[in-house]
Structure 1
């Protein structure tokens, strides 16, 4: 089993462990969950792996971390979202493509929203990306997509996107190539100017480049 597959397995193991805890120990929303150390021992994985998985669960709203107080169970109604995503845990090529396409749907919609709303497309964050590209010559691909999703203002879309992006992290969480740099600049500039079609065209060109890497 390769490293990427193992990381996904750890995530599912923790989700299943939490479901079992809820069922057998009758943990209610707002009650404290086992510590990282306990979960690490039960799953026979490192605490760093447990910590990363818990962070993903927190982004989905399944758990809540209180500084100095531990981790607590959120509303159990939210667990259905993780169960749906878990069905597409990349066990075959079709599932991988489904996850990728679903992630892109959220990204395209976010680009449309930003392109159509002046207050969003004129935010200084886009200029900061241009400055970074100019000074450093590259930019983290995942950072750009994350900012687009966040800026669009759809919190549910953000939670779903975070988890979908985890599955494609190797291809996204890296610095842009020289070819991608030009495409990203065109996409961001088109978005700033409100040119929705041009921004989406550049985005699709970028994703084709990502797929070829």
Structure 2
């Protein structure tokens, strides 16, 4: 192993170990991380290795260093990494369209998973959302889709969906309108009845309605 490879391995291991500490201690966005000295002692590495790992995490927007106040965990949903990478990966104007298409793939899979699972499709959340839609109450569009993704109990998919939603300029912003009501009623009703094909059909009609309104 070359010197550069050795340094790279130590760097990656340090970042992974820092992630482990964050998870083990239940550090949430806004919480303060242990000091460099404490982290170096716990990980058994030099402070320079910890400093390098923290600097990289800060550049990615994962942590925030406050002058004289320590280091704090950031909310990954709010950092600009997605936008920065997208400028290189998806440099043309069609990029956001590709992102939204990918987002919809995740949503379709989630709909099928929920509708085909006897326990998931009977969750009280769908009945509550359906009741609110029927009664004409205010419903946040993102809440409907977010609940769908969360129901799959796949944290990786959920985090990817959040980032895609951010870069696609949050296509589900705002509250539902009267024009969407019939599609959402069909969507949520068929979801609760375990009918994935019909639920997907209503979902697509809802998406088309939103596209026409934008």
CA deviations 1:75-128 (Å, max 9, x no partner) are xxxxxxx97875335653221111000100000000000010010000000011
Do the aligned residues in 2 keep the contact of 1:88 with 1:99 (CA within 8 Å)?
no
| Alignment: residue pair count | 156
**2:119 alignment partner in structure 1:** 119
**2:106 alignment partner in structure 1:** 106
Given the alignment, which residue of 60, 85, 108 partners 1:87?
85
User: Structure 2 regions of 5+ residues with no counterpart?
Assistant: 1-47
TM-score (norm 2): 0.62
**1:54 alignment partner in structure 2:** 74
Please report how far the alpha carbon of residue 153 of structure 1 lies from its aligned counterpart in structure 2 after TM superposition: 1.6
- SS of residue paired to 2:53: coil
TM-score (norm 1): 0.62
Q: Does 1:177 align with 2:177?
A: yes
User: Structure 1 regions of 5+ residues with no counterpart?
Assistant: 1-21, 39-50, 63-81
**1:152 alignment partner in structure 2:** 152
Per residue, is there more helix in 1 or in 2?
Answer: 1
Given the alignment, which residue of 53, 56, 76 partners 1:27?
53
Please report how far the alpha carbon of residue 132 of structure 1 lies from its aligned counterpart in structure 2 after TM superposition: 1.9
User: Where do 4+ consecutive residues of structure 1 move more than 4 Å?
Assistant: 28-33, 82-86
Question: What do you get for the CA RMSD once the two structures are aligned?
Answer: 3.5
Counterpart Cα distance in 2 of 1:98 and 1:170: 14
Counterpart Cα distance in 2 of 1:164 and 1:23: 32
